[in-house]
Amino acid sequence: MPIKSRIRTIPNYPRHGIMFRDITTLLKDPCGLYTTIQEIAGRYDSVTIDKVAGIESRGFIIGAPVAYQLGKGFVPIRKQNKLPAETLGKDYQLEYGSDRIEIHRDAIQPGDQILLIDDLIATGGTAEAAAGLIEDMGGEIVECCFVIDLPDVGGRARLEKLGHRVFALCEFDGE
């Protein structure tokens, strides 16, 4: 079952000219969700991973079941002021401004091997900031994993230029 066939495209959302790739149609399909988790977890079965980190919020939906399947812990990387304990944060640039993500200071130990997961890689700004947080804590990124890659937008190349391995289950051309 091709994962790509289960992902809905919504033209001109959130603004004109954008082709929004909506994974809710993949998530509501039991076979689509099962296949997504199995394909990702299967890729890392024989890889040394200590924890799976997911980027808010769809990275939680994919990352937590992957962590469970692998028998590893899950670390949420959240938007600013959403985590209750002491955090470490990193600002990153958006197309029209900036944002900040945070992680609990005790979530990752030096030397931890981390699989970073999100639903989609576009410009790569959020994933770069998340990887930076993990590395600032002494963690090592095993790979950055996504359900969808938008290669024309350049996020994969951005992460690879920083030395990160990148994997995606499928690609969509254009934005």
Measured between alpha carbons, how far is 48 from 40 in angstroms, rounded to an integer?
Answer: 14
47-171: CATH class: alpha beta
Q: Which residues are catalytic?
A: 58, 95
Reported pTM: 0.96
Q: With contact defined as beta carbons under 8 Å apart, do 125 and 132 qualify?
A: no
Measured between alpha carbons, how far is 41 from 70 in angstroms, rounded to an integer?
Answer: 6
Phi, then psi, of 84 in degrees rounded to 5: -80, -25
Q: What confidence score (pLDDT) does residue 173 get?
A: 87
Closest-CA residue to 71 (of 29, 110, 111, 115): 115
Domain boundaries, the chain: 47-171
pLDDT averaged over consecutive 10-residue blocks of the chain (175 residues)? 92 91 97 97 98 97 98 98 97 85 98 98 96 98 98 96 98 81
Q: What confidence score (pLDDT) does residue 1 get?
A: 66
